[in-house]
Amino acid sequence: RVLRPLDEESLRTIARNLRGAVEAVAIVFLFSFLNEGHERRAREVLREEGLRVPIAISSEVLPEMREYERACTTVLSAALQPLLDRYVRGLAKGLRERGLDAPLLLMQSSGGAADPEEALKRAACLVFSGPAGGVVGAHFVGQSLGLSELITLDMGGTSTDVSVIRGGEVALAAEREVAGWPVRLPTVDVHSVGAGGGSLTWLDRSGLLRVGPESAGAWPGPACYGRGGKRPTVTDAHLLLGYLPGDRPLPAGLQLHPDLAKEAVAPLAEALGLSWEAAAAGILRVAEAAMERAIRVMTVERGHDPRDFALLAFGGAGPLHAVALAQSLGIRRVVIPAYAGVLSALGLLVADLKHAHVRSFCAPLGEVDLARLNVILAEMKGQAEEALAREEVPPQRWKFQMAADLRYQGQGYELTVPLPRWPLGEEDREALAQAFHAAHRERYGFAVPEEPVELVALRLTAWGHTEKPELPELPRGGDLQAALLEVRPVFSPEGWQRCSVYRREKLFAGAEFSGPALVEGADSTAFIPRGARAFVHPQGHLLVEV
């Protein structure tokens, strides 16, 4: 119901003032989550007045109540659209010029892929797509190994991202922050800490050693890269302690310089009154403490015992710390996947197409008109089917999940609960209420069954399942000595020790070896400490028993 007509003349004046002065526009009206008509007409008016920049409207980006979160998410989408539009057009042009006619898809923060036209309507949905790709890749590897309970650890150059897979399902968060602003779109639930290979180390005012969040970045990078970096990083500590080679290039061709790493760490060691070995070891311990806290946030603080999970570590640096973290947390099994350094890229390849639809619907659960709910769900399902059809996904590969956002009346937050079935029947009111009480008890430790439950929104998630690649298998049987590169000293908590270094690409299915050992691959290096034993899976994954 429209109470006040849209003031189109004022809009036309605004449009004329904006011409040539802005790169994008966000339109957010207070009640557009109930009726999107005015926002759509406002966009039409701006177009009629010659405004040719991207225009994001909140009823397309996030048709939910809570205007602040909706406005922030829409503004971010509008700000990203010009940049992403140029990027996607350039990418598509480059693919055509190279004769590649495969469909172009973009990874979303929710862990699913989408057609660029669909994704760019909600450009904010792409913000956390990199970490999401890593978790999807970890899920794919976990499925191939029959592991449904996983902690994923992605350590790259600037940060470490931790997520949890329970019951074979990737966990999602309803909201994340970007530079302090809320982004309320489904996102793979990841906890990040500023501890990566390029994280800078420093002393705070009290003289305590700190790692991150500032990073040396790819350029100039760690001091040992020889590109002008002077401050010590986690990678410099890795090199000084023998975890990375200093007398020959890395498999990717980069030559590291131990002398430059020592020059960078020396002032820190002097300030701490330690040897350079002890200072470098301290850098790694501080970084691992931050990673361990992140794992505890995602498990212990949510009522999960990390010992019930396997730890799957990837990224360029994750496999160097995985087993030590597992030992600290009591985790008995570590998985270091094949292609660990590029697992996020594998996640993009195996991701299903995914579309999320939401419709706000605020009413007491006991009084809501179920027939109306069923109509709304049917409309959402139809929209999802149209999107999947445009993406040429055959109907036999479609999957839909319907859910409701519920809360106790008066609460300021809600929980998403799957619908027991669709269409909904009268008996489903109580089933939904009981499911909400159970979810609330699991998440917050209590439930109030006598309190009325309120329906806040309906959600529909649609998947278009894609064909998955088959990872190549390694040859079975061989000589482990043929994979041995060298034996070199490595500094561990027990002091310097001789460590076997294996070339990952020369390992064979069924190979076994005990720590201390390093496994150098083209994209990452793994460390197997004393007391742990590694097994090589037929697909090249390292399975480590701690």
Q: How far apart are CA 469 and CA 481, in angstroms?
A: 31
What are 196's two structure tokens?
């990566």
> Helix, strand, coil shares of the chain as percentages rounded to 5?
40, 25, 35
> Is residue 541 in a domain?
no
> Is residue 314 in a domain?
no
DSSP string, 430-468: HHHHHHHHHHHHHHHS---TTSPEEEEEEEEEEEEPPPP
Report the length, in residues, of the chain: 546
Q: How far apart are CA 334 and CA 68, in angstroms?
A: 42
Q: How far apart are CA 53 and CA 50, in angstroms?
A: 9
> Is residue 20 in a domain?
yes
Which residue from 286, 345, 335 is spatially nearest to 137, judged by alpha carbons? 345
Q: Are 268 and 367 within one domain?
A: no
Output the pLDDT for position 375: 94
DSSP string, 375-387: HHHHHHHHHHHHH
If the chain, 546 residues long, is cut into consecutive pieces of 10 residues, what is the mean pLDDT of each piece? 87 90 94 92 93 93 90 95 92 92 90 90 90 96 96 94 95 86 91 92 90 87 92 95 92 89 94 93 95 96 93 96 96 97 95 92 89 94 92 93 93 90 91 94 89 93 92 90 95 91 95 95 94 96 96
Output the pLDDT for position 308: 96
> Is residue 46 in a domain?
yes
> Is residue 402 in a domain?
yes
Q: Of the candidates 83, 102, 120, which is a domain's last residue?
A: 83
What are 325's two structure tokens?
């973290």
Q: How far apart are CA 372 and CA 363, in angstroms?
A: 12
Q: How far apart are CA 41 and CA 37, in angstroms?
A: 6
Q: How far apart are CA 52 and CA 21, in angstroms?
A: 11
Query: C-alpha 307: how far from its chain's center?
Result: 22
Task: Work out whether the CA dihedral 11, 15, 17, 23 comes out positive or negative.
Answer: positive
Alpha-carbon distances, residue 101 vs 90, 92, 97, 316 (angstroms): 15, 9, 10, 31
Neighbours of 410 (CB within 10 A): 8
> Is residue 487 in a domain?
no
| Residues contacting residue 83 through CB under 8 Å, at least 6 positions apart | none
Residue whose token pair is 């070199």? 488
Query: C-alpha 68: how far from its chain's center?
Result: 24
Neighbours of 363 (CB within 10 A): 13
Q: How far apart are CA 487 and CA 258, in angstroms?
A: 18
Helix axes 258-272, 276-298, angle to 10 degrees: 80
What are 63's two structure tokens?
């048709």
> Is residue 66 in a domain?
yes
The DSSP code for 256 is P
Output the pLDDT for position 313: 98
Range of the domain at 399: 355-464
Q: How far apart are CA 278 and CA 268, in angstroms?
A: 11
Q: How far apart are CA 448 and CA 450, in angstroms?
A: 6
Q: How far apart are CA 329 and CA 141, in angstroms?
A: 22
Q: Of the candidates 258, 287, 316, which is a domain's last residue?
A: 287
Q: In what side-by-side order are the strands of the sheet with 353-364?
A: 106-107, 113-114, 353-364, 453-464, 398-408, 415-418
Classify residue 49 as exposed, middle or buried by CB count within 10 Å of its CB (0-12, 13-18, 19+): middle
Cα atoms found within 13 Å of the Cα of residue 533, Cβ hemisphere only: 6
Q: Of the candidates 272, 287, 302, which is a domain's last residue?
A: 287
Q: How far apart are CA 317 and CA 212, in angstroms?
A: 15
Classify residue 536 as exposed, middle or buried by CB count within 10 Å of its CB (0-12, 13-18, 19+): buried
DSSP string, 326-362: HHHHT--EEEE-TTGGGHHHHHHHHPPEEEEEEEEEE
Q: Are 279 and 362 within one domain?
A: no
> Is residue 509 in a domain?
no
Provide the number of structural domains found in the chain: 3
Q: What is the dihedral of CA 229, 198, 495, 511, to 10 degrees?
A: -130
Which residue from 80, 88, 85, 47 is spatially nearest to 61, judged by alpha carbons? 80
